[in-house]
Amino acid sequence: MRRNPTRIGTALALSLFALVACGSPAEDPAAGPAGDLPASSSIVESVKKDDALAATLPAAIARAGKLRVGSNIQNPPNNFYAADGKTPVGSEVDLAKALGAKLGLTVEHQDMAFGSLITSLQAGRIDVTMAAMNDTPERQQAIDFVDYFTSGITIMVRKGNPEGIKSPDDLCGKSVAVNLGSSQETYAKEFQCLSGNPIAVTATDSDTQNQNQLRTGRVAAILNDLPTAVYVAKTAGDGEFFEVVDLAPINGGPYGIGVDKSTPELTTALSKALQALIDDGTYGKILDAWDVRQGAVTKATVNGE
């Protein structure tokens, strides 16, 4: 993850994580969703164990019968707590459970500071990380990644898209809100407008302010990270305030399940289990349930290859 810390507000001012992928935890725990959770439990419960894949697991994990997943549970819709403040939910949580079911394992989430995830993995306190963490060359020097999602910059507009924005070119000559110091700010300021009218960038450190500016028409759009923008559009004002422009993530990069280099068998097993979920449609159903299909991958890769 490569994002700046932001505060998580109420359901109306949900956190908009600043950078294309995450890097440091938000300061406050995420609140539960504004409405009912997606009906995704039946999707996960339908996953059957693949005995052949389960047989490839490291012996210690197979004996334990569980997969300890380290996460920073405050990043909706990827991972956050339900209204009870105790139950992890989200697209990543569902995917982790589905992977566990395919391998015959129960999944145990451990909530920890983002900065401690890799060291906890290397110390053996957890088996994998799954926390909207970008697979980067720098991180690959420490751990391996099974890539499961592509995120990037997306465009959020007012409901009904009154400005008719369909691509970044349509932002030229218009005002756009971004988080101060974010990759979205850099992208907007550096975007080359063929019309000669540059994007007018409004950068603030307030998610609430950015959303209010969009709602009142002072800006034409907000640039944000894909999964969070989709979640905000779905939940703010019961889905009546915003929508996300339907286009592929801009400057996209993969989220990866982190696995210690000492357990290559686990990396292989997870990769094959993920591909099985992609092939049988379970993966797509989970992403559809959380409205993040735009970030879907078609092939399970390790370290981006």
In SS3 terms, 179-237 reads as ECCCHHHHHHHHCCCCCCCCCEEEEECCHHHHHHHHHCCCCCEEEEEHHHHHHHHHHHH
- For domain 11-151+252-302, which architecture applies? 3-Layer(aba) Sandwich (3.40)
Helices 264-280 + 282-289 axis angle, to 10 = 80
The whole model's pTM is what? 0.74
Strands 128-129 and 250-260: antiparallel
The CA-based angle 75-234-134, given to 5 degrees, is 30
Q: CA quadruple 295, 2, 257, 76: dihedral positive or negative? A: negative
Q: Which fold has domain 153-250?
A: D-Maltodextrin-Binding Protein; domain 2 (3.40.190)
Residue with the bigger pLDDT between 45 and 8: it is 45
Binned at pLDDT 50, 70 and 90, residue 21 comes out as very low
- Angstrom CA distances, 25 to 6, 72, 114, 282, stand at 8, 7, 6, 29
Residue 51 confidence (pLDDT): 98
Is pLDDT of 27 > 60?
Answer: no
CATH 3.40.190.10 location in the chain: 11-151+252-302, 153-250
Query: How far is it, in rounded angstroms, from Cα 12 to Cα 262?
Result: 43
**Residue pointed to by tokens 């989220």:** 255
Are 11 and 235 in contact by the 8 Å Cβ rule? The answer is: yes
Average pLDDT over residues 243-272: 94
pLDDT in the model for residue 36: 54
Q: How confident is the model at residue 38 (pLDDT cuts 50, 70, 90)?
A: confident
Greater confidence (229 vs 28) lies with: 229
Sorting pLDDT into bands at 50, 70 and 90, what band is 71?
Answer: very high
Q: How many CB atoms lie within 10 A of CB 208?
A: 15
